């Protein structure tokens, strides 16, 4: 679900910035066919880490992590 949300945001940013797939690919350091596959929902082989491409388009990506209500809290784990 996270990947799908990131891809949806990615598509919005491309449209909002009037970027072609080729322009976006060049900015992000990937190929235009990679962008095409990503926008067509073929992103199983793409890690969430790779979707940091949004940062190269001027977006801030926050991934909130919340405790499950029925699980007792544990010590926090710092993530950087």
Mind listing the pLDDT tens digit for each residue in 33-47? 988 988 888 877 767
* Cβ contacts of 36 within 8 Å, gap of 6 or more: 21
Token pair, residue 27, equals: 């900015």
Mean residue pLDDT across the chain: 79
In the chain, what are the domain boundaries?
2-56
* Cβ contacts of 27 within 8 Å, gap of 6 or more: 19, 56, 57
The mean pLDDT value for 53-64 works out to 76
Question: For residues 13 and 71, what is the distance between their CA atoms, to the nearest angstrom?
Answer: 36
* Cβ contacts of 74 within 8 Å, gap of 6 or more: none
Q: Enter the CATH code of domain 2-56.
A: 1.10.260.40
> Is 78 a residue whose pLDDT tops 80?
no
The overall pTM is greater than 0.95: no
């Amino acid at each position: 679900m996270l990947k799908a949300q990131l891809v949806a945001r990615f598509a919005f940013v491309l449209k909002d910035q009037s970027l072609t797939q080729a322009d976006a690919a060049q900015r992000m350091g990937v190929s235009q066919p990679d962008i095409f596959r990503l926008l067509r929902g073929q992103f199983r082989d793409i890690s969430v880490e790779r979707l940091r491409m949004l940062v190269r388009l001027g977006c801030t990506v926050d991934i909130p992590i919340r405790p499950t209500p029925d699980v007792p809290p544990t010590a926090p784990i710092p993530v950087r």
